[in-house]
């Protein structure tokens, strides 16, 4: 088995604060891997270390078998990086940057090809400071792809994008994956990890909590029954241990049996409450995430 990315007992401190704590995982060649975690979990620190911008305090990281700091010159042609804030010069124009990057790489995609692929045609001559957030994101992604990387690092690639642009970015990333590119992304969007990733690593306060396929993470979460209703439920008149959540859903942590579903539907009907939606059994990835990170109130 050859790994594109290996993280072995990696720890990182800022001052006295341990922000990554003995993290180990591997990413296979061609795999789409997501790092998911609440704010401050250590995702950016981890991805920036893999990109060679930070050094581990202990443990080691390898990308394509190389050390991202020591072997930077060998890696830069094979790795594409999209930084969280883009890191773009505000007065430059997209076409100038594409041409500049084209010169950097021996086997680069042409600026025209990349512009077409990421739909940059409408703003190639607009100074970057005038671009919308979504246009900047697409340009950053274009620059990350220019050198036809074998490994692509994306730090929150769809943050701030509207749902339509987010979905078209997902399609583009799926296309890259099907061409064999290894992709690691960090995201706050659980749906993004669920939709795209072959495997997801959940990190919380610098520690690895779980790493598995989205399906296995969901299957491993506790069984439950959840419902949404047209009006508030009188919990004292429900026989299941139903609790109200902040998102308008009620949840009972019980085994999802036909009998439990019948009891809940009946108790709600007796109160004159209309059951709008019910989910029984397997949790969503979001529920699995909340259970694993214990961050019910986390801002995602």
> Of 9 and 231, which has the nearer Cβ to ligand ATP?
9
Distance of CA 114 to the CA centre of its chain: 23
By CB under 6 A, is residue 44 in contact with ligand ATP?
A: yes
Q: Tokens 């891997």 label which residue?
A: 33
Of 38 and 94, nearer to ligand ATP (C-beta) is 38
Q: Which stretch binds ligand ATP (CB under 6 A): 40-48, 94-102, 112-120, 210-218?
A: 40-48
Q: Are strands 79-82 and 151-155 parallel, antiparallel or unpaired?
A: parallel
The span from the CA of 22 to the CA of 4, in Å, is 20
- The residue range among 43-51, 65-73, 161-169, 217-225 that interacts with ligand ATP, by the rule CB under 6 A, is 43-51
Q: How many other C-beta atoms can be found within 10 angstroms of the C-beta atom of residue 295? A: 17
Please name the residue ranges forming H helices in 149-297.
Answer: 163-178, 190-196, 214-220, 258-270, 285-293
Give 13 or 148: the residue with its C-beta nearer to ligand ATP.
13
Query: Please, are residues 173 and 31 in contact by the beta-carbon 8 Å criterion?
Result: no
Decide if residue 157 touches ligand ATP (CB under 6 A): no
**Can residue 149 be called a binding residue for ligand ATP (CB under 6 A)?**
no
Q: How far is the CB of 43 from ligand ATP (least distance, A)?
A: 3
**Binding to ligand ATP by residue 202, rule CB under 6 A?**
no
45 binds ligand ATP (CB under 6 A): yes
Cβ(140)–Cβ(128) below 8 Å: no
Among 42, 52, 149, 214, binds ligand ATP (CB under 6 A): 42
For the CB of residue 39, give the shortest distance to ligand ATP in the complex, in Å.
4
- The two three-digit tokens of residue 217, written as one number: 């993470």
Q: Does 19 bind ligand ATP (CB under 6 A)?
A: yes
**Whether 216 contacts 239, CB under 8 Å:** no
Q: Which is nearer to ligand ATP, 16 or 236 (CB)?
A: 16
Nearest to 29 by CA among 6, 8, 49: 6
Residues binding ligand ATP (CB under 6 A): 14, 19, 37, 39-45, 188
């Amino acid at each position: 088995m050859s790994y594109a990315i290996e993280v072995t007992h990696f720890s990182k401190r800022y001052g006295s604060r341990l922000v990554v704590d003995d993290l180990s995982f591997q990413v296979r060649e061609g795999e789409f891997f997501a790092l998911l975690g609440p704010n401050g979990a250590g995702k950016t620190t981890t991805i920036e270390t893999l990109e060679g911008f930070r050094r581990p305090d202990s443990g080691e990281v390898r990308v394509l078998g190389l050390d991202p700091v020591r072997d930077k010159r060998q890696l830069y042609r094979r790795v594409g990086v999209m930084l969280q804030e883009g890191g773009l010069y505000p007065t430059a124009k997209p076409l100038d940057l594409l041409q500049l990057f084209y010169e950097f790489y021996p086997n680069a995609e042409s600026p025209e090809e990349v512009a077409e692929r990421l739909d940059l045609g409408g703003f190639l001559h607009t100074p970057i400071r005038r671009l919308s957030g979504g246009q900047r994101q697409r340009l950053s992604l274009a620059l990350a792809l220019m050198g036809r990387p074998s490994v692509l690092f994306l730090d929150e690639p769809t943050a701030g994008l509207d749902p339509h642009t987010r979905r078209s970015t997902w399609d583009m990333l799926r296309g890259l994956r099907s061409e064999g590119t290894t992709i690691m992304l960090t995201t706050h969007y659980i749906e993004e990890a669920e939709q795209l990733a072959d495997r997801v690593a959940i990190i919380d306060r610098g520690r690895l909590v779980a790493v598995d396929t989205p399906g296995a993470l969901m299957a491993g979460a506790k069984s439950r029954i959840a419902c949404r209703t047209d009006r508030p439920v009188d919990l004292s008149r429900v026989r299941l241990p139903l609790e109200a959540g902040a998102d308008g859903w009620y949840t009972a942590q019980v085994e999802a049996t036909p009998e439990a579903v019948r009891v809940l539907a009946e108790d709600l009907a007796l109160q004159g409450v209309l059951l709008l939606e019910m989910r029984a059994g397997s949790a969503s990835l979001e529920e699995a995430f909340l259970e694993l990170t214990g961050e019910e109130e986390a801002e995602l």
